[in-house]
Structure 1
Amino acid sequence: MSGSPSTFVWYDLMTTDPAAAEAFYRAVVGWNAKIWGETGAYTLVGPGDRMVAGIMALPEAVLVAGGRPGWLGYVAVADVDAATAELAQAGGAVHKPPTDIPEVGRFSVVADPQGAVFQLFTPLAGDNPPPPAAPGTPGHIGWHELYAVDWAAVFDFYADRFGWTKADAIDMGPMGTYQLFAAGGVPIGGMMNKPEMIPRPFWGFYFNVPEIDTAAARVAENGGMVLMGPQEVPGGAWIVQCVDPQGAVFALTAPARGGGIP
């Protein structure tokens, strides 16, 4: 590819109870919310006036086909039609062909050759997104994690599409290698082989919070569940991996443990 590397620019939660999910994430992450569009079927959420994601009902057809609540990320590309066609030629799958979002842009729903689903997005011509927030800003998405069948085999697929490069590789012992990837030299996520207990590859997202213990407590207080952590990761950040009350997996990251614990 040519030009600047592509990055994640938006996120969607597709869920069985949008109103309950909105209340949960507002309490846990500290987001505000506002309705977008005339139908009221899509809710924007984010810190302050800066919206970073949307929440919508999981379509009935997806439920019937076995789909479950989950988060999806949008990767910005210069031409969503061309990028979707190139992805298919490279062994990816197209779940929804390029489609217009009135007054916003154009998107498609795709998957990598191992089945991890994400979305491609091109904004309207001349619609420049706001500059990214400083790393660690509360309420923004701080990390992107791919659980792959074979991360080493699929890395080049993403590198060729989006210009991502390898950063540090972390030896996790029996769990294998955790490969960080960068866009423009800045690490934005990691890839690893999924544990056998995870049925299929997927992209996971970490939301920034100020302190991990207080945020983890809010997860439990509001009907969610902490699956793993708190755990300190290389670089000194703290994380928890969680599931919301409707069953969507997400994670939180913070610079401090909190709760008086160093």
Structure 2
Amino acid sequence: MSTPKNFLWYELMTSDTGAAAGFYSHVVGWKTGDGGTPRNPYTLFLVEDQGIGGMMELPKEACDQGATPGWVGYIGVDDVDEEVKNVQQAGGRLLREPDDVPGILRFAVVADPAGAAFVIFKGEGGPMSQPAPGTQGTVGWHELNGGDVGTAFAFYSRLFGWTKDQAMDMGNGEVYQLFAAGGEAVGAMMKRQDKNAGPHWLFYFCVDDIDAAMARIGEKGGSVTSGPHQVPGDAWIIQALDPQGASFALVGARR
């Protein structure tokens, strides 16, 4: 059995990269760096000088077609083209054909059976080093707001080797199914509650003090949409929107 695959990179597509850089640096504590080329600007989000994600401007043609700012996660795979076939065979869809960022990675944009989008990729620089889990600015939780949980879990488990952890009863026959990718639980799947939002992945960024982070969101023009709520492990979570309308979440202690 091969090693389970996991999310390794997080990317924000937004309508105002300058404002978004200032917002997330203030709220989450990221530093920013230049990872682009003259023809393709790209901002890196850094934790302890280690890249954990990036940001680029939504293309005008995408906005014209109704695209809105949002986050997408990248899952590392061994062979992008082969994985595209696996995604389709498992009931998912190809949203963007495999393509190359020369010298950096090969990638494809895909969606699970319910329509939640994510990216599969293979970098050209070998294994990616990651900051220690729980470090401020890293992603502490991955939450799928999708369709039927059983169908979703079967899809991701088949492709990436994820395994079930605890299942929490949400009432009305619905569950919050935790999953692991070769260790402790790293996220959960549930049937989406907000029918105004399509199926999507929501990423929880780690902060040291959830109340202080909430205040910083307001200072930079964002809004808290849910929380704070206490979760197991003596942590607290909130869900929020950045000033451009992208959904994100935070997890941290209450000091």
TM-score by length of 1: 0.93
Counterpart residue identity of residue 128, structure 1: P
1:53-202 map, 5 Å: 53-124=53-124, 127-130=126-129, 132-174=130-172, 176-202=174-200
**Corresponding position of 1:257:** 254
Q: More displaced, 31-40 or 180-189?
A: 31-40
**Corresponding position of 1:41:** 41
Note the alpha carbon deviations across 1:217-259, whole angstroms, 9 max, x for none. Answer: 10011100000111101222110100000000000001x112x
1 CA distance for matches of 2:194 and 2:48?
A: 39
Counterpart residue identity of residue 122, structure 1: K
2 CA distance for matches of 1:248 and 1:6?
A: 26
Counterpart residue identity of residue 19, structure 2: A
Of 210, 213, 221, the residue aligned with 1:212 is: 210
Counterpart residue identity of residue 86, structure 2: E
Query: Cα distance, 1:95 vs. partner?
Result: 1.1
Q: 1:111 to 1:231 in 2, by over 3 A?
A: same
**1:46–1:140 contact (8 Å) kept in structure 2:** no
Query: Cα distance, 1:135 vs. partner?
Result: 2.4
**2:149–2:175 contact (8 Å) kept in structure 1:** no
2 CA distance for matches of 1:90 and 1:176?
A: 23
Counterpart residue identity of residue 50, structure 1: Q
2 CA distance for matches of 1:37 and 1:245?
A: 23
2 CA distance for matches of 1:136 and 1:31?
A: 14
**Corresponding position of 2:244:** 246
SS at match of 1:172: strand
Query: Cα distance, 1:62 vs. partner?
Result: 1.6
SS at match of 1:52: strand
Structure 1 residue ranges (4+ consecutive) displaced by more than 6 angstroms after TM superposition:
none
Q: More displaced, 3-12 or 134-143?
A: 134-143
Q: More displaced, 169-178 or 100-109?
A: 169-178
* RMSD of Structure 2 on Structure 1 (CA): 1.4
Note the alpha carbon deviations across 1:82-101, whole angstroms, 9 max, x for none. Answer: 00111112221111111111
**2:47–2:131 contact (8 Å) kept in structure 1:** no
SS at match of 1:115: coil
Aligned residue pair count = 254
TM-score by length of 2: 0.96
Query: Cα distance, 1:174 vs. partner?
Result: 4.7
Query: Cα distance, 1:55 vs. partner?
Result: 0.7
2 CA distance for matches of 1:15 and 1:21?
A: 8
Q: Percent identity?
A: 48
**Corresponding position of 2:31:** 32
Q: 1:175 to 1:22 in 2, by over 3 A?
A: farther
Alignment gaps of 5+ in structure 1: none
